[in-house]
Structure 1
Amino acid sequence: MKKVILAMLLAVCSSAYAVSVDSVRGSFGFVERGNSYGKMIDVLGNPESSYSHIIHDHKGWPHKAITYTYSLNNSRYEITLVDGAIYSINWER
């Protein structure tokens, strides 16, 4: 039993984690929640990858979303846009 708990603890401690942040610094300024797709491209450049998906708001209504992935300063950022505006920014180490 002790070995199982130790293995789970080591797995949790060594795994990467994602944190929601309010802004990302690019070479030409900052991008924050609520900014447009155009500003994101101007500040951060072209993303490495993207994918489309559906997210649900707090009332359960579906919305089309696109998540863009950037690697900046040895960190990975996932920026999700809904209706042309930045909805969330997740940072992963």
Structure 2
Amino acid sequence: MKKFILVIMLAVCSSAYAVSVDSVRGSTAFVERGNSYSKMIDVLGSPESSYRHVIHDRDGWPHKATSYIYQVNGQKYVITVVDGAVYSIDWER
């Protein structure tokens, strides 16, 4: 039983996680929450990949969102865009 608990604890501690950040630095400028989609493309270029999904606001209303995945200086960032503006920036470790 002790080994089982130890294995579970090690798996949880070593798993990858994402941290929400306020901005990401491109080669010429920063991309921050609230910036437009076009500024994100101008600063970071085209993403490695993207996927569409639905997010819900605090009131439970659905909104169409697209998440873009970037590799910047060896770090993975997932930038979510809703209604043409950067909604969130997550740094994945």
- CA RMSD, aligned part only? 0.7
Task: Please list every run of at least 4 consecutive aligned residues from structure 1 whose deviation after the TM superposition is greater than 4 angstroms.
Answer: none
**TM-score normalized by the length of structure 1:** 0.96
Q: Quote the offset at 1:62 in angstroms.
A: 0.3
- Which AA in structure 2 matches 1:90? D
Report the secondary structure of 2:59's partner residue. Answer: coil
- What is the percent sequence identity of the aligned residues? 74
Gaps of 5+ in 1: none
Secondary structure at the counterpart of residue 60 of structure 1: coil
So what's the TM-score if we normalise by structure 2?
Answer: 0.96
Aligned length: 93
**Alpha-carbon deviation of 1:76?**
0.7
CA displacement, residues 54-75 of structure 1 (integer Å, 9 cap, x when unaligned): 1000000000000000011221
Structure 2 unaligned blocks of 5 or more: none
